[in-house]
Amino acid sequence: MLRVVVPIVILAVFVYGLVDLIRTDARLTRGISKTAWIFVQILLPVVGATLWFLIGRPRATDAAPVAYSHPVAPDDDPEFLRNLEIRRRNQAEADRRRKLKDELDAKEHKLDGGTAEASGTESAGDAREPGDAGTQGTDEVK
């Protein structure tokens, strides 16, 4: 029985250590390079796996692998959606202001139209000051 259990345990430790080593990112291995760890584990199955778990394996406190930025679809990008919402709100505010300005201009035109008809056809450009002679270029003092 012991002759069967020991080789199975050695094989399990070897396979588990090798699979763990292969799945580990090469930048996170400690001690020696990933390729060197593979050679150590193949040449010394039990010792190599034990050394891998004690020395070479990255610890949980080590920095996590850097996430590579990849293109994101616009509808998945939160920054794009936030900017889209801000642009939509700004456009709605601009439309609201334009509408209010148009309404105000229409009311002013309506009010100015009523006072202009009552006072005649005189426009603001034709108004003169009381002492103005009406001729240009004269040396007359007011």
Q: What is the pLDDT of residues 49-68, one digit of tens each?
A: 888 888 888 877 655 555 66
Structure pTM? Answer: 0.42
Q: Which two tokens stand for residue 62?
A: 């080590």
Q: What pLDDT is stored for residue 33 in this prediction?
A: 87
E-strand spans in 1-142?
none
Cα separation, 91 vs 81, in Å, equals 15
Rounded percentage of the chain residues whose pLDDT exceeds 70: 70
Amino acid of residue 64: A
Q: What pLDDT is stored for residue 80 in this prediction?
A: 82
Instruction: Of 47, 57, 68, 64, give the one whose Cα is nearest residue 22.
Output: 57
pLDDT band at 131 (very low <50, low <70, confident <90, very high): low
Q: What pLDDT is stored for residue 116 in this prediction?
A: 59
